[in-house]
Amino acid sequence: MSELGWRQRYGEGIVISLLGAAVLGVVAWLFHANNSWARGLFYGLVAALLVVITCLAYLLLKRVPKPKITPTTKNIDSCVRMWLDNHKVMVKVDPDQTCYFRYRITLDASGTHLTILRSKIDLQEYVQIFADLGLKGEEGKKILALYSDAEKAQLLST
C-alpha cells in the first residue's frame, strides 16, 4: 500500500467528489434560475442516494461476522455437537445417567472410535475424550508378537 502513489490512492475519491460537486452545482443553479426541472432532478437525486445508501448498508451488514459462541457449562453439549458436525464425523448419541452427554464417534479415515463425554460424577467442568488405542486384526497380532511378555507388562504399567 505504501508503494502506491498519491494519485493512485486518492484519485478515485477525488474524481467522484468533483463529479458529485458538479452535479450539486447544476442542481443549485437550476433552483436559482427557477427552472421547472430543478425540483424533479433534486428529488430524483435524493431517491438515488437513498437507494445507494440502502445497498451499501445491506452489503456491510452481510460482511459483519456472526457472533462466536463462547462455550460454558450450560451450552458445551451443543458446542461439541456443532464442532463434530462441522468436521463431518459420524456421531452416535449414547446417553448415560452418569453423564450430561456422551457421544460415540467413528473417524472415517482410520475407523478409530472415540467417546466424548461430560461426567456428572467426577471432573464435571471438563469434557473428556476417550480413544480406543488397541491393536486389532491380524496386523495387530503381528505387531504384538514382536514384544516379549516383560515388555508388554512394562507398556501396560506406564
Do 82 and 56 belong together in one domain?
Answer: no
The number of domains in the chain is 2
pLDDT of residue 110: 66
Give the structural domain span for 136: 76-157
Question: Does residue 131 register a pLDDT over 70?
Answer: yes
Q: Is residue 146 part of a domain?
A: yes
- pLDDT-derived band at 53, boundaries 50, 70, 90: confident
Do 13 and 84 fall into the same domain? no
Would the pLDDT of 1 be above 60?
Answer: no
Per DSSP, 2 falls in state T
Greater confidence (107 vs 61) lies with: 61
Q: Quote the pLDDT of residue 10.
A: 75
For residue 30, what pLDDT is reported? 82
The C-alpha cell at 18 is: 468533483
pLDDT range class, residue 155, cuts 50, 70, 90: confident
Asked if pLDDT for residue 7 goes beyond 80, the answer is: no
Look at residue 70 and tell me if it is in a domain. no
Asked whether residue 31 is assigned to any structural domain, the reply reads yes
Same domain (yes/no): 40, 106: no
| Residues 84 and 153 reside in one and the same domain | yes
Q: What is the average pLDDT across 81-103?
A: 86
pLDDT for residue 149 is more than 80: yes
Most confident of 9-13, 24-28, 124-128: 124-128
Length of the chain: 158
- Listed in sequence order, the DSSP H helices in the chain are 6-32, 37-63, 76-86, 137-145, 149-157
Q: Burial, 103: exposed, middle or buried (Cβ in 10 Å; 0-12, 13-18, 19+)?
A: buried
Of 133 and 40, more confident: 40
Same domain for 93 and 140, yes or no, is yes
Question: For the residues 6-33, what does the mean pLDDT come to?
Answer: 80
Residues 84 and 56 in one domain: no
Cα 80 to Cα 91: distance, rounded to the nearest angstrom: 11
> Percentage of the chain surpassing pLDDT 90?
3
Query: Taking residues 64-84, what's their average pLDDT?
Result: 86
Q: How far apart are CA 147 and CA 127, in angstroms?
A: 35
Which pairs count as long-range contacts for 38-43, CB under 8 Å and 24+ apart, including other chains? Answer: none
Is pLDDT at 109 greater than 70 in this prediction? no
Question: 127-145 burial, b for 16+ CB within 10 Å, e for fewer?
Answer: beeeeeeeeeeeeeeeeee
Q: According to the model, what pLDDT value does residue 48 have?
A: 85
